[in-house]
Structure 1
Amino acid sequence: MLERIQHGFVWAGRAEAKGGHCHVNCRRVALPRSLGGLGVHDLERTGMALRTRWLWFSKIDERHAWAGLGLQFPTEEQAFFFASTHTSNGNGHNTKFWEDRWINGRFVGEIAPLLHAYIPKRQRKNRTIAEGL
């Protein structure tokens, strides 16, 4: 909704713009000023970055307010997060046994999907490597 209003304003100077009324390419407007754009944020990408940041904060510090809420994130955002991060085991107290990618960049569900599906969800979300081993 907000993105539609933003595009309408950039394209036609009003809340909504239909095809044929576009004065400016939105992709070009979203470019940084140094590359010839206006630096207008792409709301979809900015939102994805912020939600991915929540994933990061819930991973590194479980004291944040939203860490225990069990927030649901789209599969593509989770994939982006896992592709962008690397898990280092350390003492195993902060790495989730069933959900984190601690086995050569893979998680147990990729290696043994039937076993992963058999484990209750609550245990999959909470069990650490230290507890599992």
Structure 2
Amino acid sequence: MTVDIPQWAHKVVDKIRRGYLWKGYTDVKGGQCLVAWNTVCHPLEQGGLGISILQHLSWALRLR
């Protein structure tokens, strides 16, 4: 994560993570997602699952 990853790569990885979370596959369609991905990425205290947003995580690791 020390290298600046392009935005399209973040989207591809998030798509795979979303697919695995909802169906156990690498690809899902929008009708199979039970909760919006932004809600899932919220901390547990705010009602989410605490899954990190890759772009924010890469920024934090590079700033460190």
TM norm structure 1: 0.35
Residues 4-15 of structure 1: pairs in structure 2 closer than 5 A = 4-15=15-26
Structure 1 residue aligned with 2:13, among 2, 11, 22? 2
Q: Which has the higher helix share?
A: 2
Partner of 2:40: 29
Distance 2:34 2:24 in 1: 9
Q: Which runs of 4+ in 1 moved over 3 A?
A: none
1:45 correspondence with 2:45: no
Look up the SS of the partner of 2:32 in the other structure. coil
In structure 2, list runs of 5 or more residues that go unmatched.
1-11
Q: How far off its partner does 1:14 sit?
A: 1.7
Q: How far off its partner does 1:18 sit?
A: 2.1
Whether the 8 Å CA contact 1:29–1:39 is kept in 2: the answer is yes
- Superposition RMSD on alpha carbons, in Å? 1.6
Q: How far off its partner does 1:44 sit?
A: 1.6
In structure 1, list runs of 5 or more residues that go unmatched.
54-133
Partner of 1:84: none
Deviations 1:22-53 (A, max 9, x none): 22211111111111111011112111211222
